[in-house]
Amino acid sequence: MRQGRRKLWRAVTGLALSGLLGSGLVVAAAASSTAAHDPADSWTVDGPGGSALQAELGLDPSGGLRLAVDSGGAPVLLPGRLGIRTDQHDLTTGLRLVDRQQRTVRESYRTTTGKQLKRSATMREATFTFSGADGARLGVVVRVSDDGVAYRYLLDGQGPVTVTGEASTFELPTDARAWVQPYSPSYETERTETTAGAANAAQPAKCAGATCSFGYPTLFEVGSTYVLLTEADVDGRYSGSHLDHVDGGSGYAVALADDAPVTAQGPLATPWRTAIVGSLDTLVGSTLVDDLAPPSKVEDTSWIRPGVDDWSWLSNGSSPGDFDRQRDFVDYAAQHGLPYTLVDAGWQSSWVPELVRYARARGVDVILWFAWTDLRTQQQRDTWFSTLKDWGVAGVKVDYMDSDAQSTFQWYDAILHDTAKARLMIDFHGATIPRGLQRTWPQVMSVEAVRGEENGQNPTRDIFLAFTRNIVGSMDYTPTWFSRPNRKDSLAHELALPVVYESGWTSLGDNPEGFSAQPVAERYLEQLPTTWDETHLVSGGPGPQPAGDRQAVIARRSGDRWFVGGILAGAGDTMNAPLGFLGKGAYLVETIGDSGGQLRRTVRTVTAEDTLTVPADADGGFVAVACPAAKGRADCDQPVIPAPATSLTLDPASATALPGASTAFDATFVLPQGPALHQVRMTVDRDRLPAGWTAAGADVTAGSLRAGKALDGHWTVTVGTDQPGGEVDVPVVVTYADPAGKKAAPVHVEEVVRVSVPLHGTVYASDLPFLTETNGYGPVERDQSNGEAGGQDGKPLTIGGTVYAKGLGTNAPARVQIDVQGRCTLFEAHVGLDDETGGKGSVTFTVLGDGDRQLAAGGVVRGGQGAAELTADLTGVHTLTLVVGDGGDGKNYDHADWGLARISCAD
């Protein structure tokens, strides 16, 4: 046993452990065990091969567990408490060893995102079984790898188990440098450089009492070794956690979210308490969090495509509600080879399908933003995900979870399962940190959990993030806003962020005009991958360098090209990037740096023996791309090949047909100019037709379609006999091989024939499309009460104890417009305040026709009253408008129901 560690253990446990750990624990490939009478009170778990890491687990005089970690013979983590408490057992003291098993764990897998797509890891694992004072069993699994140490608890009982808390504590020297972040479930607070003991004092506004909570990942420097504390493999069986620290102390204790118990079905394996340990380069390149996570639950990942998107919200928060402005972003993405456009909060269902068709015809896919409350329930997800697939949306950005509670992780489990089933990629915003979920659920492209560009700029924060948050998984920082007013960093610093930070979807924050003003940057961003084969820290660190500044220079390889990003916080300085990461031979290196407030590009030939030296402005940076040098090669560019302009024409583009009737149409697809298209196919997408509809006509294909030659098709569509009135879009789709290359998804060109089915018989307002809708709180709900801010989150419509299976749930003031086509004669509804208001609130109900012509109205209706009948003559009316007023006392509690809401129309 090492002398330094022996002294520490004596100080903490009061035990003289000399000679007990001399032989250590050798972890073999085959399992073995020791008898219960093993006299040792402390055991070591060595890292694999020649690893410098060693974990030491021991019992103190009270029978409490403690874990310490050495690196290269020097203490890194001091002996910290282990143990767990349930509502039935206290497994923090009175423990004795009854069994020990060991094995070598080898992980080999591929990911769809991340700092290294092909992964392999070897970990030594020891499983210790202890008996508590009351006979209950506790398993402790310790894993040691080249890049860290992790442990978890095993509770082997059957049936439900409720964990009330853990004793888990990481102990650091109080003078160890620390980079801490006050805990918030959104992880959007600023990090501070301090020491392990003084962390609370560094955040006085966040730490009012003696104990302060800090979020993962938390970085410490112990001697010459760095330790990054976090957790791995958290899902709905448990909650997330954070670290509690007592002012001046050395311990960082694991605290469950909201200090609330968690209940799971036994047997229970808790999340991994994880310490990534080593040099900064080891930390930056570590995949330990993913190595500890469960394998992928998605077998076919061919539909998962990371990439860069342009995103309008950051530069103009109202732009996602502007269809024309979103087309500008689509056009920019198409022109510059960006595979995605992200449409944030404010988009409208009325025009999104058209935008998606416009984008896909240009080789661009659309990502849509959602508040998580719109996807909270199974019904909401089923409805929305089916709709999104019909529209052709590629993925979703889901926002505002802001919770580490077990119930929220159970929701994560559900939406991850559902997006995988629907083949929708996902980005979690307003979310918790990644804990290995991108290995388990490879459709996760990125996670926010960071104070990103939307929260203002801070060059020092940028440095800290490279050595903390981004180490544990993709980070949705939303970088690169060149035209930002009062920008606090240089152009090159902004350009470097998408390289310094890894994210499967990288959402660029500027607008087309801002990017176009920086053509040197545009050219670089056109080439930028978002997934990597290798990642290395080239130079820099989170603390001030000898010159007084902070730097981070990171190199990432994609294929045979290396992309380098360097950022600096502080005064201008020379940034150095040793090129030892390059392979053998000569490389062409293009470098872009600041020059008099502009970006300047230089090109040179180098080898791995050289060092790239770049002068940087204050809060500046640089980027570079390196590729094997070849005769005549002047740059590292790969060609950007946009999808060509094509034309798909439908004749007629609209038709009217009754149930059981048929309508025919022709389709013509033309490439006006340019190289021939290949693997062309034109078809009616029958999978998206309503139930009972059929389409007759053969698909049309062409192995090659040259410019000017038309591809023609003819189909006949028959309306289902049970189809209610309304409009149905019949999609005609042309696909062809993407000219950009074989790995790209086919280009999708789509137009629709809009078939109007006249209203007939008895129909319900909740089954018809809305021309427009406004609501005092959340969306208007169909066949349920208003609920909360999300869609489809209400309860059964209930007025005066009567439940209505059909109807509309609103909140005053509300207004809904419906096209009744001049074919209907009567509107009937039972109106009132929903019983969920508890007798509170007051509203008015009014029925209008073709503008503001009043057809029916009632007086003020108050909570607790029974339903009132409201009828209106609709003869000759084309637009029906249902209006709810607030009764003159504001909108609180005004959950107004249109029960039944039935419309009688011609047969």
- Please give the Cα distance from 826 to 870 (Å, whole number): 11
Handedness of CA 873, 874, 877, 882 (dihedral sign): positive
- Please give the Cα distance from 258 to 213 (Å, whole number): 11
- Please give the Cα distance from 602 to 360 (Å, whole number): 36
- Please give the Cα distance from 626 to 606 (Å, whole number): 9
CB 308 within 8 A of CB 282: no
Closest CA to 794 of 862, 896, 890, 869: 896
DSSP labels for 119-167?
Answer: EEEEEEEEEEEEE-TTS-EEEEEEEEETTEEEEEEEEEEEEEEEEEEE-
CB 111 within 8 A of CB 438: yes
CB 93 within 8 A of CB 65: no
Distances (CA, A) of 678 to 650, 701, 735, 765: 22, 10, 9, 46
DSSP labels for 610-625?
Answer: -EEEEEE-TT-EEEEE
Kindly report the backbone phi and psi dihedral angles of residue 290, in degrees, each rounded to the nearest multiple of 5, phi listed first: -70, -35
Pairing state of beta strands 654-656 and 747-757?
Answer: parallel
Q: Examine the residue annotation and report whether 788 is marked as an active-site residue of this protein.
A: no
Residues in contact with 841: Cβ distance below 8 Å, sequence separation at least 6, in sequence order: 833, 862, 863, 887, 892, 893, 894, 895
Handedness of CA 274, 279, 284, 285 (dihedral sign): negative
- Please give the Cα distance from 461 to 467 (Å, whole number): 10
- Please give the Cα distance from 789 to 375 (Å, whole number): 11
Distances (CA, A) of 3 to 8, 25, 74, 461: 9, 18, 10, 39
Q: Examine the residue annotation and report whether 233 is marked as an active-site residue of this protein.
A: no
Could you say which of 188, 331, 418, 454 is catalytic? 454
- Please give the Cα distance from 586 to 579 (Å, whole number): 11
Closest CA to 719 of 652, 657, 654: 657
Distances (CA, A) of 90 to 192, 200, 266: 36, 29, 17
- Please give the Cα distance from 590 to 604 (Å, whole number): 7
Residues in contact with 486: Cβ distance below 8 Å, sequence separation at least 6, in sequence order: none
Q: What would the 3-class secondary structure string for 83-115 be?
A: CEEECCCEECCCCEEEEEEEEEEEEEEECCCCC
- Please give the Cα distance from 110 to 120 (Å, whole number): 9
CA angle (295, 298, 300) in 5-degree steps: 125
CB 144 within 8 A of CB 44: no
DSSP labels for 249-290?
Answer: -SEEEEEEGGG--EEEEEEEEPPEEEEEEE-HHHHHH--HHH
Angle between helices 406-422 and 378-391 (to 10 degrees): 30
Q: Looking at residue 33, what DSSP letter applies?
A: B
Handedness of CA 399, 405, 411, 415 (dihedral sign): positive
Distances (CA, A) of 172 to 8, 80, 95, 169, 187: 12, 9, 24, 10, 23
Tokens of 320: 């996602």
Could you say which of 231, 399, 476, 751 is catalytic? 399
Q: What is the number of other CB atoms lying within 10 angstroms of the CB of residue 15?
A: 16
Residues in contact with 197: Cβ distance below 8 Å, sequence separation at least 6, in sequence order: 174, 175, 248, 249, 250
Q: 402: burial class by Cβ within 10 Å (0-12, 13-18, 19+)?
A: middle
Instruction: Please list the active-site residues.
Output: 399, 454
